Amino acid sequence: MIRRKARESALKLMWSVERSALLARIGAATARAYWRLRGADRLIVDATRTSRNLNAIQVYRVGEWARALARNAALRPTFDALRLCPEAATATARSYLEPRAEHDLVAQSQLGMLAARQGHFDMLAAAYQGRIDAEMNRVIQEGSHPEKRLPATAMADLERVVDTLTDAGLRPYVVSGTLLGLYRDGELLPWDFDHDVGVGPGVDVASVKAIFDEDRRFFAVERGHCVTVRDLQSGVTTDIFVHFERNGLFWKGTEIHEWWHEPFSTVEATFDEKTFLIPDDPVRYLVENYGDDWHEPKPFYRTTFDTPNRVYRQTPEALIFLGELALQSVRSGDRFAAESTIRSLRDHFAVELTTPSILPAHEHRLE
């Protein structure tokens, strides 16, 4: 905190000295002296003298970067200092970056930036490919919101809910994201934040809630045709979807969504020495729920938009959900969510905006 405030104060001072050419030269000289004393590479810092157009702020940023190089400290993922780095210092900068590039993706991209300045874009493209792949793999492993991940007790929590339903005479089976993780990966999805369990057809929603109302380990809330159960010890929630049959198909849902499936029976399957009931044709079920590429992890998958068998129910809750999400998305500048929610409002609730639309022309709309 103190270092950050000192850095901000120094930058503000340097902005103030840019009011005259003389003060600008004094400011640049002061920045060079400051970073030489702080252990920055002298050749890189002194090379800023050859760039007459660099102001004190810019010299400061080059010096800050030169110190990180010299001290083998963490590099900021920015191209600003590299853009300002004098040509005379390029070889020195490369000598610091090359040994780090194999294990430091930021150093690799900065090395690529130096090469791109000389017209070699392939190294820079490869560097960003590596950094983006690494970040995507991190999200696949941890999720985009790792703070919402299931705890280490998640499998035991799932078993506790399943056992409670079984003891009450029901035949619960795992569905949706819980089935996807267990069947595809042999474990629960690392980025998931709740469990998905199915019961029925032929089961009453109120009776499912009553099972958990009588058990002090849980707190249950009815959400349309789904009962959400919170384990009061672990805090983990489980959505228990009561399935129904209509027009020769099964469907499950909340007050907002419905998901439709071909009818299925259930069979036993063992994952990590734990046995659960699952749909008898799990591949067909997962294709219906996640598409033909269900076996490939999707780090930014959003149930609200990406589930092939999802429809919005004609309920006030669904309209409110989409309307509020659209407002939130527009305010935050999230174009993908804004386009998706506005399209869903148009297609499912005939909401036509009179303001200029962010959607493409009708013949080019993605359905």
The pLDDT tens digits of the residues spanning 165-218 come to: 999 999 999 999 999 999 998 888 877 889 999 998 989 999 999 999 989 899
The predicted pLDDT at position 251 comes to 94
Q: Is residue 339 part of a domain?
A: yes
Element (H, E) at 341: helix 335-349
Structure-block tokens of residue 238: 């489980």
**Tally of CA atoms within 13 A in the half-sphere of 269 that contains its CB:** 19
Both 246 and 330 in one domain: the answer is no
Q: Is residue 308 part of a domain?
A: no
Q: Structural domain of residue 25, as residue ranges?
A: 2-142
Q: Is residue 306 part of a domain?
A: no
* Tally of structural domains, the chain: 3
Closest CA to 153 of 269, 231, 239, 270: 231
The predicted pLDDT at position 320 comes to 87
In the predicted model, residues of the chain with pLDDT beneath 70 are: 1-22, 51-52, 77-82, 139-149, 354-367
The predicted pLDDT at position 203 comes to 92
Closest CA to 309 of 343, 344, 262: 262
The predicted pLDDT at position 266 comes to 95
Both 135 and 53 in one domain: the answer is yes
Both 138 and 153 in one domain: the answer is no
The predicted pLDDT at position 355 comes to 63
Q: Is residue 109 part of a domain?
A: yes
Among the candidates 92, 115, 142, a domain finishes at 142
The predicted pLDDT at position 112 comes to 81
The predicted pLDDT at position 129 comes to 75
The predicted pLDDT at position 23 comes to 72
Closest CA to 240 of 317, 350, 165, 343: 165
Greatest pairwise CA separation for the chain in angstroms? 87
Alpha-helical (H) ranges within 236-332 are 282-290, 303-306, 316-332
Q: Is residue 42 part of a domain?
A: yes
Q: Is residue 309 part of a domain?
A: no
Report how far apart, in Å, the C-alpha atoms of 48 and of each of 31, 53, 193, 341 are. Answer: 10, 9, 51, 51
Both 261 and 338 in one domain: the answer is no
The predicted pLDDT at position 59 comes to 85
Q: Is residue 305 part of a domain?
A: no
Among the candidates 127, 142, 157, a domain finishes at 142
Helix (H, G, I), strand (E, B) or coil at 293: coil
Beta strands in 131-248 (DSSP E): 173-174, 194-199, 218-223, 226-231, 237-242, 244-246
pTM over 0.75: no
Scored b (16 or more CB within 10 A) or e, 48-70 reads beebeebbbbbbbbbbbbbbbbb
Query: What DSSP assignment string belongs to 132-162?
Result: HHHHHHHHHHH-S-GGG---TTHHHHHHHHH
Among the candidates 244, 274, 300, a domain finishes at 300
Helix (H, G, I), strand (E, B) or coil at 40: coil
